[in-house]
C-alpha cells in the first residue's frame, strides 16, 4: 500500500486561504473542465465553510466547500497533478469529522456523473468507495450529468 504524502487540511478562515481555494477551483472547474466562471462561484460561497488541502503544509492543492445550512458538500477539487495520491479521502473525512462535531447526522453531494468516454467526469465511484449511496435519479445540472449521493455519519 502506498504512503499518502505529507499533507495538512484546515478550514480556510483568512482571505488569503479563501483565495487559494478559489484559485484551485478556477483551475479545475473553469480551466480544466470548461465550466463558465459565472456558475462556478455563487452565493453559496458566502455561507459555506471552505476546506483547504496543503501538501507539505505549504502548497495548496485541493479544496472542498461545505454549505452548513443543508449539510451539502461540493466544489471538491484537487489539482490534476496531485490526483491519485490518496489525498481526496482525508479531505472528505475532515468534512465528515467537522459535521459530526456540530451534531450532523449525514452529508450529501451532487456528484458529477458524466461519461468519461465522452469527455465527462464521473466521481460517483470515488464517493461509493467511501460509503456514499445514490439518492434519486441522475439529472443534468450546469450542462453535466449529476447524481445526488448521501453519507450517513
Average pLDDT, the chain: 94
Query: What are the grid coordinates assigned to 80, written together?
Result: 490534476
Contacts of 51 (CB under 8 A, 6+ apart): 9, 10, 11, 12, 21, 63, 64, 65, 66, 91, 94, 95, 98
Which CATH architecture is the domain 1-104 placed in? 3-Layer(aba) Sandwich (3.40)
Q: What residues does CATH 3.40.630.30 cover in the chain?
A: 1-104
Short-list 97, 151, 104, 144, CA closest to 126: 151
**Are 145 and 109 contacting, i.e. CB atoms less than 8 angstroms apart?**
no
Q: Which residue has the higher pLDDT, 71 or 38?
A: 71
Q: What is the pLDDT of residue 1?
A: 59
Under the banding of pLDDT at 50, 70 and 90, the label for residue 67 is: very high
pLDDT at 119 over 80: no
Amino acid at each position: 500500500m502506498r504512503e499518502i504524502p505529507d499533507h495538512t487540511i484546515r478550514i480556510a478562515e483568512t482571505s488569503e486561504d479563501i483565495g487559494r481555494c478559489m484559485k484551485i477551483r478556477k483551475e479545475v472547474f473553469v480551466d480544466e473542465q470548461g465550466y463558465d466562471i459565472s456558475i462556478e462561484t455563487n452565493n453559496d460561497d458566502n455561507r459555506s465553510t471552505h476546506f483547504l488541502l496543503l501538501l507539505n503544509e505549504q502548497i495548496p492543492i485541493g479544496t472542498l466547500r461545505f454549505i452548513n445550512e443543508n449539510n451539502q458538500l461540493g466544489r471538491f477539487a484537487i489539482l490534476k497533478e496531485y490526483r491519485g495520491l490518496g489525498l481526496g479521502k482525508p479531505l472528505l473525512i475532515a468534512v465528515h469529522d467537522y459535521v459530526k462535531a456540530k451534531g450532523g447526522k449525514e452529508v450529501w453531494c451532487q456528484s458529477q456523473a458524466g461519461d468519461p468516454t465522452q469527455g465527462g467526469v464521473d466521481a460517483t465511484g470515488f464517493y461509493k468507495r467511501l460509503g456514499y449511496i445514490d439518492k434519486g435519479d441522475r439529472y443534468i445540472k450546469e450542462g453535466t450529468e449529476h447524481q445526488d449521493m448521501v453519507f450517513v455519519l
